[in-house]
Structures are given as C-alpha cells and as structure tokens.
Chains A and B, each alone.
Chain A
Amino acid sequence: MEKKCRLLQRGAADLVAVAVGMTLLAITAVGTSYSLLYGRQALIQQEHYKVASYMLRGELEREVARFQVFGKYRDRFDSYLDFGELNINLDSPNDRDGDVNMTRGRINRDPVVKIDRQETGEGTDYYRIVMRAEWTESVYPGALDSRSRNKSGTTHEILLATTFLVQSEL
C-alpha cells in the first residue's frame, strides 16, 4: 500500500513538474509572439508619422513656393484663403503582400496670414502659413483579444508653421 502511494506521489509530482514547465513555455511563447505582433504594429504606426510629416512638409513648401514665385497668388490673396482638404495615403498598397489596412489622412491649411507691422511702415512684412496633417490609426496595436479588436486606433495630428518673405516685395 505504501509502495503504491509512493508511486502515485511520484507520478503526481511528475505531472506537476510537466505542467509548470509547459505553463512557463506557453507564457514565453505567447509573450514573444505578442511582443512581435505589438512591435510590428507600433513600428508601422511610427512609419505613419514619418510618411505624414514628409507629405506635410512637402505641401507646406509648395504653398510657400506658390506665394514666393507666382505673383498671382499674392495679387489674388483674398480669393486664395481656402485650401480645401488633401487626402493622403499613409500605407503602401504592396506592403504585407497587399494584405494591409490602409490608413488614410488629411492635410489642411489655415488661411495664409499677411503680417504688416506698424513700426515698419506700409506694406506686407512677411507671410505666415500653418498646415496640419491628421489621421486615425485603423488598428489598435496589440489588439489580439476580441474586446480590444473593436477599439478604434488613436488619432494623431502634426502641425507645421512657417513664415517667409517675398523677395520682390523687399
């Protein structure tokens, strides 16, 4: 009887050891894969920042160039207050073998402002342009369980402002 008990105890101890080992292994495996998935999504969202900021700075430079190089933009200043809205794509369609959640954003511009300082006499001293890029992430990083999968991603905004002179007005 005692022998039988010892055998059963030994078997139970083996089972416990195996169970603990497999739990540790499972935790490691789940943690590794989760961090890989989370990291990948976080990396993609960081890329969205870079892509959006390059597009935004490009649009800002084009606006500056329009006012600096084309006199018509300055002549018809008041009718050029509305920029409209520019839709941008923050993902590349071939990424992830084409299986990608496309994140789309918008670029807006505030009305261009003429700065005319009293102390410098009559005429425009400089111009000021403020532009914004906005987007909402379609995927919440680390959204692996069913509860967080429906959570919408975070909204981001980048604001760029610049002031510039026009040479022919100096």
Chain B
Amino acid sequence: MRSTNTARLSHYKSSLLRVQVGFTLISTMVSFALASVALFGGWVAYRDIQMQWRVANAERQMDQYAHNAMAELVNVLSWSYGAEQIGSGRNMRWQISLMDQVLEHAGQHGSGLLSYRYRTDMYYLLRGINGGLVNLTYDRDRGILFDRVPPEWAEARRGNQRQYVWRGSVIRNPRTNLAAFDRRDRMTVVGLELDRSLVNDPWRDPEKPWDAHAVIGITITMQYKYDATHGVSLFTDEYVRERTYSTKVFCRNYDVPKNLFKEDLQASYSG
C-alpha cells in the first residue's frame, strides 16, 4: 500500500501537477477562512439589502400617508366655516366648525368627496343649527385623529383586526403601536401645525381682526426611522427619512351671510 502511494506521488512530482492527497491542517484552515468570509459577506449583503428594501418601502408608505392626510385635512377645512386652536402643547386641539351634521352614506364606508364621515357635536343646536364642531388632534403613532379616531383610510380591516395602512403585520395594541414591520422601524407623525396665515397680512382690515381666521395654514411632518445600530459596525446606522408637507386652506364657508363661528369670533374680539 505504502509503496503504491509513493509510486503515485513520484509520478505526479515528475509531471509538474500536484494533487493534494487528503486534507492538511493548512488546507483546512484556508478553506474554513474562505467559507467564513463568503458566509459573512453573504449575511452582510442580505442584511443590507433587506434594510434598504424596508427603508425604501416604508418611505413610499410614509409618502402615501402624508399625501392622504393632506388631502383629508384640505377637504375637511375647505368645507368648514372656520377653525380655532384650543389649548396648547400636548393638550392642543383644533376645533373645526362644520355646522351641519353631515353623514352621507349613513356614515358607512364611502368613496370620493361625498363620503364625509365625521360626526359633529351639537354645539350650535341652541341657536337653531343641527350640528357643530369636530375636534382635530394628532398622535405620534396613530397620525391625525378626528374626534380621537384615525380616519378610515388610515386603517384597514382584516377580519376583525384593525391595521394601519403602513403596517405589514397585525397590530397587537391598535392604540399605541405603529411600527411598520418589526420593532426596529418606526413611523411617526412628528408634527402637525395649524396657523392663521392672514394674521400678519399688510392689508388686513384692522377693524375686523376676526377675518384673519379665514385662511388656515397646515404643516404636517412625518418621520421614519430604521434602527440598525446593532450589528457589524461598518453597516450600522439609524436611517432617518422625513417628509414635510404644507399648504393653506381657505375655509369656503367663512364668508357666508350666517356664519355662527364668525359671530362667536366677533363676540370674543369685542369682549
């Protein structure tokens, strides 16, 4: 046996081509090193492309949300008689005066501009109008809220489970949870500002200060963060994507002959 092997080796030695017979310690180490580099590279590439995909996808979802929120706010405020900020800081809310108790499609799911779903309170009932105000607030995790409820387009129903549009999985706690895919990424509405953009208008009538309430400025800021700070140092980061939309809305019904909201404003200015 031994003699045969020796004979074979001597044959290859003479033919310049070397053939490895069995593993040596060195060749094992080299192949292990190569395999670990390949596996590590593959894992990093997979992790990185997965992260890129999530960031890109969440970015698109955030854009969709911001666009829908703007359309909704513009729509509601355009139909209103005016709006006013109540309180400030974390307790800030906006009261939008809608007068009528509009419930087209009997408050059911509708489509298009007529599907107006926000039930007003009965603030103006004593003054002969069957309707009143809608409260607008926002929550970092649940987005804009009308009367503390997210608009219907912002959530989808799968069976009995409620989901927000940007979620890929079923939420456990619909009141607080908004993570898009898992615990690492989080989408928030970081700011919703409404202001009266006509307050400093140069040609505003100083005798009618309430007219500055006719136009309302809206700014909504959305943020998406992907926390990839745990991992290989070269590929870790906290990805931040932010979108800011702003517009101004002229409350179309502000200038109608009988605007109870305007009458209230006039009364408050005259003391």
- Residues of A at the B interface (CB closer than 8 Å) are 4, 7, 32, 36, 39-40, 43, 46-47, 50-51, 54-55, 57-59, 61-62, 64-66, 68-73, 76, 80, 92, 94-98, 167
Complex: how many Å from CA A136 to CA B17?
Answer: 64
B259 to chain A, nearest CB (A): 12
Mask, B182-223, CB within 8 Å of A = 1, is: 000000000000000110010111000001001101000101
Residues of B in contact with A, size category: 35 or more
B250 / chain A contacts, CB cutoff of 8 Å? 61-62, 64-65, 68
Contact B255 A69 (CB under 8 A): yes
Q: Does chain A have a CB within 8 A of B28?
A: no
Complex: how many Å from CA A76 to CA B205?
Answer: 13
Among residues of A, the one whose C-beta sits closest to the C-beta of B223 is A94
Complex: how many Å from CA A69 to CA B204?
Answer: 9
B90 to chain A, nearest CB (A): 21
Contact A39 B247 (CB under 8 A): no
Complex: how many Å from CA A36 to CA B223?
Answer: 21
Q: Does chain A have a CB within 8 A of B241?
A: yes
Are A58 and B248 CB-contacts (below 8 A) given A39-B56, A65-B215, A92-B243?
A: yes
A13 to chain B, nearest CB (A): 16
Given A71-B205, A92-B221, 12 further pairs, Cβ under 8 A: A7-B17, A36-B52, A36-B56, A40-B56, A50-B63, A54-B247, A55-B247, A61-B247, A66-B203, A69-B198, A92-B243, A95-B241
Complex: how many Å from CA A72 to CA B207?
Answer: 12
- Residues from 42 to 99 in B contacting A, C-beta threshold 8 Å: 49, 52, 56, 59-60, 63, 67, 70, 74
Contact A66 B247 (CB under 8 A): no
- Choice from A61, A68, A70, A98 contacting B204 with Cβ under 8 Å: A70
Complex: how many Å from CA A94 to CA B215?
Answer: 28
Are A62 and B203 CB-contacts (below 8 A) given A40-B56, A47-B63, A92-B221?
A: no
Contact B241 A66 (CB under 8 A): no
- Choice from A57, A65, A71 contacting B198 with Cβ under 8 Å: A65
